[in-house]
Every structure is written in C-alpha cells, then in structure tokens.
Amino acid sequence: MAHLHPRPHRGLKPVLTALTVALVLAGCASSRGLAPEGRLLDADALQAQRSLADAAVSDASFPRQDWWTSLGDPQLDALISEALAGTPTLDAADARVRQAVAQAGIVDATRKPTLNGTAEYAGVQLPETVAPEPIGGSYLGVGVLRVGFHYTVDLWGGDRARWQAAVGQARAAEIDAQATRLTLSSNIARAYVQLAQAHAAHDVASSDHERAARLLELGRQRVAAGLDNQLQIHQAESALASAELQIQASEHEIETTQNAIAALLGKGPDRGRDIARPTLLNAASPQVPSVLPSELLGHRPDVVAARWRVESAQHGIKASKAAFYPTLNLAAMVGLAATNVGDLFGGDALLLQGGPALSLPIFDGGRLRNQLARSDAEYDLAVAQYNQTLVGAVREVTDAVQSAHAFDAQIVSATRARDAAQQAWDIAAKRYKAGLGTQLDVLAAQRPLLDLDRQLTVLRAQRLAASIDLDRALGGGLVLVTPDSNDSNALAKAPTP
C-alpha cells in the first residue's frame, strides 16, 4: 500500500523564489558609501574650571523652578504667574506641541493594519456600433459591496524608525514649549528690573533738579547783590534744564517699560499702568553647581531639545536605509458583486481577492541614495546645532557668573566712592552752617554724590539682571525628559508627550 506524504503548499514556492530573486537584486539599489559625519560634542571637553574659579560651588545650586521668588518682590511673582497662565506666545508654543504630537500619531497609524469598506455601483451601455448584440445596445449595471484589508510588514524596522523620528520631534517641541516659558519668565523679570532702575533714576533726577533749582535761586541772589555775573545764572539754568531732561527721560522709560511688561503678559498697555514701583531686593551671590558642565545637559531646555532632534535624525537615517530593502504587503478583499442589486446577497455573489506582494527598488534614478544622503545631512545638521547649543550654554553660564562678580566689585567701588562723596557733602554742609563756607560749596559737593547715586542704580540693575541670566542659563529649575544615548530604543520607551 502506498504511503501518502504531505507535500509543500504549491503557492509557497513562487513566494520563496521571488524573495530569493529580490535579495539577489538588492545590490542594484545600494546605500554603500553613504554615512553621516557629525559627532556629538563631549560636554566635559568644554573646560570652564579656570573661568569659574572665583564662583562659589555648591552641590545643589541649580535654581528652583520658581527661581524668581528669590528676588523677593511679591508683585513680580504675581506678574510671572499671570503670564504663565496663558499668553499668545505660550499658546503658539503649545499649538506647535500638539501639531508635532499629531504628526507622530499620523506616522504611527501607517504602521498598523487598515480595514475599509466600500459600496459601489457602476453601469455601462456599449453602442451596437462597438459590440453586437446581446452586449451592444444593452445596459449592464454592477453593484459591489466589499471590505478591504491592507498591512505592510515592517521587515526592516523602517516604519518604526519613522515613528520614532516623529516622536523625537514631538519631544523636542514639548521641551521647546518649556523653554518658551523660561524665556518669558526671565524676560518679565529683566523688564521688571529695568522698571526698578527707571524709578531709581527718576529719584536721582528729581534730587538733581532740586539741587539745580536751589543753585539757580542762589545765583540770582548773588547777582542781585553784585557778587556774581550772569555767567553763574546761565550755568545754573543749563543744569536745571539738564535735570528736567533726565526726569523726562526716566518718566518715558517707566512708561515704555510698563508697556513692555504688559505686552509680555499678553495684555494691553493699560495693564502696565497698574504695575506699582518694584521693591526688588539685592541679588544673592552667584553659585554654580559643582557638576558643570556635564550636568548642564539635562537642565537646559534648548540643549535637551537639540539632543532629541539628534535622536530623531538618527532614526530618520534608519528609515531611509530600510527603504533599500524589500517590502512585504499583505492585502485581502472580501465582497459581493452582482449585475442585479437584488442578487448581491446570493451565494453566487461572493468576491474574494488577496495575497502577499513583495516589492524591491532596483533602479530608481538615485532617489533612495539622495534620500539617504539628505537624512545623513539632517543628522549632521542636528549634531552641529546641538554642539553649538551646548557651547553657547556653557558660555552663558560663565558670562552670567563673571558679570555678577564684575558688578559686585564695581558696586563695592562705587559705594566706597559715594561714601567719600557723602562725607565731602556733609563737611560742606557743616562748614556752611558754621559760616565758614557758602551754599555754592554745598551744592557743588552734592553733584558728584548724585552722579554716583545714578551710577549705583545702573550697577545694581545690571547685577540683578546677571542673577536672572544665571538662573536662566542653568535651566530655570525645569524637569526635562532626556534621551538615553546608550539606548537605541529610548524614544520608543519614553512616555508619549
């Protein structure tokens, strides 16, 4: 008795043959010779120890997320909270995040099977001059109901890589939105310091105006008494007009700065008129973390966003390389078709179609190679932008620390000079009261005192601005999700933004 042995499915042999031929032909469209050139910069290679040698070092000196509260002005706290509640700038940043997340969702959808249904009716009547009866001259209608299935098997990970690249862009957009909030809060704080300086300058200008007015009055009295000539009066009038100019300039500065703060809040100029005079405290001594510059990578939003874009570009290269290999599509269609709509649901109306399809690029005019070359260039660009951002971040920290120290030293010198000018003015006042000097001596001694007061207002404002710049340069206390450079699946493992 003959034994029956199972035979391979006859339909499998053509598929295997086609796959073998496709792999043999794979060399026709090759990615050989194409590779990115960019290399990520090592943060520890950016030496800053000597430049930051004079800075106080702390193990926990990264700023808090509400870093502006250290300036000690409740009105500033309220203004920044108002801005962070919503402005057109933040709305635009949030919209870009939603746009990037939606794009990642679109790319993810291409990785999944699709199922669609179609109901169709089509009719045709051929003239007898084209076809004889019974075809010619008769109307033929066909009704079709079908459900189609399609799925592309991600054999080489190209679809996944495209999705990971889109997720990386969404991550970068999410962190850009946080960077926008940091920029907004620091801009408000800086404008607020400028407003404080304008008020202080107005005080100095008012004192100078009062001094010049007394000098003019005294000059007129001395001219009337025959002790001086018109030269003294004209000099006093010039000083008075100059003081009025300073008052007008400071008032204008107050108004325009209030307008700027109102605009940062997303409000009209009238909102700025409600901002009272700032009561900022002196800035604290600058401190920098002992782990700079390497730990700066995870705190600066612009650096972290640039790093996500590098990850995204890296997955873009993988997607472009996958396009060189065969693709396997699975498609199936089940439906009903009949020339008579009433026969659609009969047993003879069943329509079936389906099976795998294998495709491979062989000659494409260089499209795939140029696409991969573009992906390599995009990666190199992302790496260059990351490196430049990192260099700029370390520089901003160093600039802020050095500026703070420089302004501290200048404030000490200016304060010492002001103390000496104050003593000279006190001596002139005592001599005048004792009848040993004139009021001209008193007013003349007051001038350098006012000039130093004006200089101190500028220096203190610059010192506060340097403190704000340092908090911003250190990342503003933001908590950021950073990619793991040692994990090729970091993007896929990260929570969906």
Please write the tens of the pLDDT for every residue from 360-386. 888 878 888 898 999 999 999 999 999
Is residue 497 scored above 70 in pLDDT? no
Is residue 203 scored above 60 in pLDDT? yes
The CATH code for residues 118-153+326-359 is 2.20.200.10
- Which is higher by pLDDT, 243 or 292? 243
Please write the tens of the pLDDT for every residue from 59-70. 556 888 898 988
Question: Rounded distance, CA 19 to CA 288, Å?
Answer: 61
Please write the tens of the pLDDT for every residue from 135-170. 777 887 888 888 998 988 888 889 899 999 999 999
Mean pLDDT, rounded, for 3-10:
45
What pLDDT score does 80 carry? 95
Residue 32 phi, psi (nearest 5): -60, 140
Pair 397, 474: CB distance under 8 Å: yes
pLDDT band of residue 13 (cuts 50, 70, 90) is low
Annotated domain spans of the chain: 38-111+156-188+238-325+368-493, 118-153+326-359
Is residue 48 scored above 70 in pLDDT? no
What pLDDT score does 487 carry? 44
Please write the tens of the pLDDT for every residue from 209-232. 888 788 778 778 877 777 666 777
Is residue 486 scored above 70 in pLDDT? no
CATH architecture of 38-111+156-188+238-325+368-493: Up-down Bundle (1.20)
Domains 38-111+156-188+238-325+368-493 and 118-153+326-359 share a fold: no
Mean pLDDT, rounded, for 188-217:
88
Mean pLDDT, rounded, for 423-431:
82
Question: Rounded distance, CA 334 to CA 351, Å?
Answer: 6
Mean pLDDT, rounded, for 235-247:
83
pLDDT band of residue 273 (cuts 50, 70, 90) is very high
pLDDT band of residue 398 (cuts 50, 70, 90) is confident
